[in-house]
Structure 1
Amino acid sequence: MTLSVDLFFSFRSPYSYLALPKTLKMVADYDVAVNLRPVYPLAVRVPGFFKKTNPQFARYVVLDSSRVAKHENIPFRFPRPDPIVQDMTTLDVAEHQPYIHRLTRLGAAAQLEGQSLAFTSAISRVLWDGSVKGWNEGDHLARAADAAGFDLAAMDAAIAADPDHYEAVIKGNEEAHAASGHWGVPTFVFANEPFFGQNRIDLLIWRMESKGLTRRTA
């Protein structure tokens, strides 16, 4: 029996990106389906989050995520431009957020097609692996989407025609995320039990094995 796991994911979260290689390997090695459910970053979900948290929080995330990437040999560079329009000196978050709204809605569209993990993995590499300058320019995203089996222009057009439909999917994801018992990303949820962090995948596999998880056969 194929087991199912929800993965709550943010396109701005370095740890969400860093979780993808092990997630893809887990899906390749085990009889498990991962339903990636995009949510908005804390900067959008929780107004004033960065002003309320310890000022060392952002600096530590930069240090630690870069360290994790080196340890795991994952190509990594913070996205340029930042998916969130934010003044990192004042920590003010702009009201208009063109990048993260587009990315998260695209993730929701892929979720509706049942292919959100493949789509998000392809798109996230464009943002985070440092291989391109200006991930939002040219055909970088379109080529990544095409490689994952998606037509980016068609997705953008569908979202523009009915943005509320995709916002409703995201809102449902955020409500399910909150109900899971955690607020951060990436959070994996199996049988109503949350596993927070890219470093909890081994623990997640251990738990699923106790519930009958099996390896895939060649």
Structure 2
Amino acid sequence: MTLTADLFWSFRSPYSYLAIARYRALAASHDLSINLRPVYPLAIRQPDFFDRNHPNWLSYTMRDMIRVAQFHGIPFGPPRPDPIVQDIMTREIAAEQPYIYRLTRLGQAASRRGKSLAFAHEAAQLIWGGARDWHLGDHLAGAAQRAGLDLAELDAEAVKDAQTLDNEIAANQIALEMAGHWGVPTLVFEGEPFFGQDRIEMAKWRMEQKGLRPR
């Protein structure tokens, strides 16, 4: 019996990137279907989030995400450009955001086709894996192709159906909060949330209790 789970995820979250390859590998090696449900990052949903955090939050997070990547052997480089336009010194979020809306809508369009896990992983490897100018040229087209998708088709849908896609993305956020969390990455299995890239083995353990088996 194929088990199913939802993975709530953001293109701007380094920890989402650090989790997705392992979740994709788990779905590939076990009788498991993971539906990645993209949400907008906190910088969009709560622009004052960074102002409300402890002053050490940013420096610790940057140190931690680098060592997590090193520990797991995951390629990691600063995003060039950052999916969110933000002044790192002042933490101010720019009014114009040319990347994150497109990315998240593309992810939701991929979710409509049952391929959001693959697309998000392929795109994240560009964004967080060190590719320069991932938004230019054929970078994203190649990511879409590797996920079995056509970028031109996804982009056309992201423009034409932007409001409906945003409604679906908002519904993803509501579903995440109803499951008992608010942050990403969070895997939800049978109503139980597992937050963070360090909860993958625990999520697997729980699913094994429910019958998860290798393919």
TM-score interval, smaller chain: over 0.9
**Alignment RMSD (CA, Å):** 1.0
Q: Report the AA paired with residue 34 of structure 1.
A: I
TM alignment of 1:58-77, pairs within 5 A? 58-77=58-77
The aligned residue for residue 110 of structure 1 is 110
Using the TM superposition, name which of 10-19 and 90-99 deviates more.
90-99
CA deviations over 1:113-132 (Å, ceiling 9, x no partner): 111001111111111111x2
Q: Distance in 2 between matches of 1:210 and 1:91?
A: 43
The aligned residue for residue 88 of structure 2 is 88
The aligned residue for residue 55 of structure 1 is 55
The aligned residue for residue 186 of structure 2 is 187
**Structure 1 runs, 4 residues or longer, greater than 6 Å off:** none
Q: Distance in 1 between matches of 2:22 and 2:139?
A: 24
CA deviations over 1:83-116 (Å, ceiling 9, x no partner): 0011111111112211000000000000011110
CA deviations over 1:140-175 (Å, ceiling 9, x no partner): 111111121111112111221121011011011011
Shift of 1:29: 2.0
Structure 1 segments unaligned to the other structure (5+ residues): none
Q: Report the AA paired with residue 159 of structure 1.
A: A
**Are 1:142 and 2:141 counterparts?**
yes
Q: Distance in 2 between matches of 1:105 and 1:14?
A: 19
Percent identity over paired residues: 53
Does the residue aligned with 2:36 lie in a helix, a strand or coil? Answer: strand
The aligned residue for residue 38 of structure 2 is 38
TM-score, normalised by the number of residues in structure 1: 0.96
The number of residue pairs the alignment matches comes to 215
Does the residue aligned with 2:193 lie in a helix, a strand or coil? Answer: strand
Q: Distance in 2 between matches of 1:76 and 1:95?
A: 28
Structure 2 segments unaligned to the other structure (5+ residues): none
The aligned residue for residue 211 of structure 2 is 212
